[in-house]
Amino acid sequence: MKLCIASGKGGTGKTTIAVNLALALGERAELLDCDVEEPNAHIFLRPEISGSKEIYTPIPLVDLSLCTFCGQCAQICRFSAITMVAKKVLIFQDLCHSCGGCTLVCPTGALSEGKRQLGEVSAGHKNGLSFLSGRMRIGETMAPPLIRQVRAQADSRKISIIDAPPGTSCPVIAAMSGVDCIVLVTEPTPFGLHDLKLAVEAVRLLDIPCGLVINRADIGTDEVYRYAQQENLPVLLSIPFDRRIAELYSEGKPLIEALPVWRETFLQLYEDIDQLTQAHKEKVHA
């Protein structure tokens, strides 16, 4: 089971849900922090980190002594990462998407493979629960390849719980694609609803079953609930606005560790996610 916890906007409690669900499942699960621009699951989980690995992406390097300045590399690059200026080939490393097209078309072999660091992936554990976390290098702009690297290192024998980046752009799609179920965490406010609608549109394009967790459920209006009904999105869990929960969050303490009564709630959440996933599979195969 691969499961992605996402939200249309930041600050909805997405990481709280991911961490508590993972802790409730314990050694059956692996938590993947794919919010690589601002990973923070480790603050709540406090895992023992066993190692980190730098992650690189290939970029072209030019040997001017072999270059005939034909310009074919610049022509094929749709990201404008290579350009010709007089008798020079300029490579803008940060724009390169590592497609390899330039090296393929170069007729003289003047381009070889260099590398650019994307960031690093750390691995660890907490009482049998496995943990992976990606962190982008400062100044790096491309999150999707690093997110894919975090996911590639996941243990396929465990339930993967992916903490996605907020929003609906390419990094979120990299975190969501290919999972069995998506949980969208939202709050019942006009901003929450607006961003939830964008997130649901993205999920629908991927054709992945999806349910909602409504955080701070007793603030705002019932518009999110009406939207959920209208769009046939099951509300898997509602968490009330509670001072004690907010205090635990600000102290970086997981809910189920401080208030064990929530453990059953998160185990039930997993059961409901599993049922939703099975129902979708049956529908697809019918």
CB of 103 to ligand SF4, least distance (A): 7
Q: Which pair of tokens denotes residue 73?
A: 């590399």
Q: Which residue lies nearer to ligand SF4 by CB, 40 or 103? A: 103
- Give the count of beta carbons closer than 10 Å to the beta carbon of residue 272: 17
- Torsion angle (degrees, nearest 10) of CA 55, 44, 19, 126: 70
Q: Which residue lies nearer to ligand SF4 by CB, 10 or 71? A: 71
The yes or no reply on residue 194 touching ligand SF4 (CB under 6 A) is no
CB of 92 to ligand SF4, least distance (A): 8
Q: Is 117 exposed, middle or buried (0-12, 13-18, 19+ CB in 10 A)?
A: middle
Q: Which residue lies nearer to ligand SF4 by CB, 110 or 196? A: 110
The yes or no reply on residue 20 touching ligand SF4 (CB under 6 A) is no
H or E, element range at 91: strand 88-91
CB of 144 to ligand SF4, least distance (A): 14
The yes or no reply on residue 101 touching ligand SF4 (CB under 6 A) is yes
Q: How many residues bind ligand SF4 (CB under 6 A)?
A: 26
Q: Which pair of tokens denotes residue 116?
A: 């650019």
Site string for ligand SF4, 23-62 (x = CB under 6 A): -------------------------------------x-x
The alpha carbon dihedral of 113, 117, 118, 119 has a sign of positive
Q: Which pair of tokens denotes residue 56?
A: 């690189």
- Give the C-alpha separation, 228 to 238, whole Å: 13
The binder of ligand SF4 chosen from 10, 26, 71, 252 (CB under 6 A):
71
The yes or no reply on residue 72 touching ligand SF4 (CB under 6 A) is yes
CB of 60 to ligand SF4, least distance (A): 5
CB of 86 to ligand SF4, least distance (A): 12
- Give the C-alpha separation, 100 to 209, whole Å: 35
- Give the C-alpha separation, 213 to 208, whole Å: 16
The contact set with ligand SF4 (CB under 6 A) reads 60, 62, 67-73, 76-77, 79, 81-82, 89, 96-102, 106, 108, 110-111
